[in-house]
Amino acid sequence: MTTLGTPETPNTAPEIPADTTERTERLQLEMWVLGEQGKSLGTLDALQHDPATGQVSGLMVRCGIVSQRRLVPMRLVTAVTDRSVQIQMTRAAFKLLPAWHAG
């Protein structure tokens, strides 16, 4: 029998592990990226790595009809499930991030 969460133990996505290696191992390209309140922001297009440490420092999110890409700092990731990445950002704030262009 499956037990749904209660107010004391909510039925939410599991939190990402504190260890960066474990956290980033769960990330997969084309995962849905969800903002606050589960609003879809786009899909995970690429990972940005810190050249000094090699650790993932940001998520490149593909969004919109013209497939713009926006860089989201890894510190805003709050959860990773099998199908999605949850970030601590509203859709309005996400739209204010500058579009990123390779160059």
In the predicted model, what is the mean pLDDT of residues 43-70?
90
Distance CA 42, CA 47 (A): 14
Residue 39: partners with Cβ closer than 8 Å, 6 or more residues away: 90, 91
Token pair listed for 57: 């420092």
Q: Mean per-residue pLDDT for 1-19?
A: 40
Find tokens 């390779």 and name the residue. Answer: 102
To the question of domain 20-96 being in CATH 3.40.190.150, the answer is no
Res 54 pLDDT > 50 = yes
Domain spans of the chain? Answer: 20-96
- pLDDT tens, residue by residue, 12-48: 444 444 455 666 788 999 999 999 989 999 999 999 9
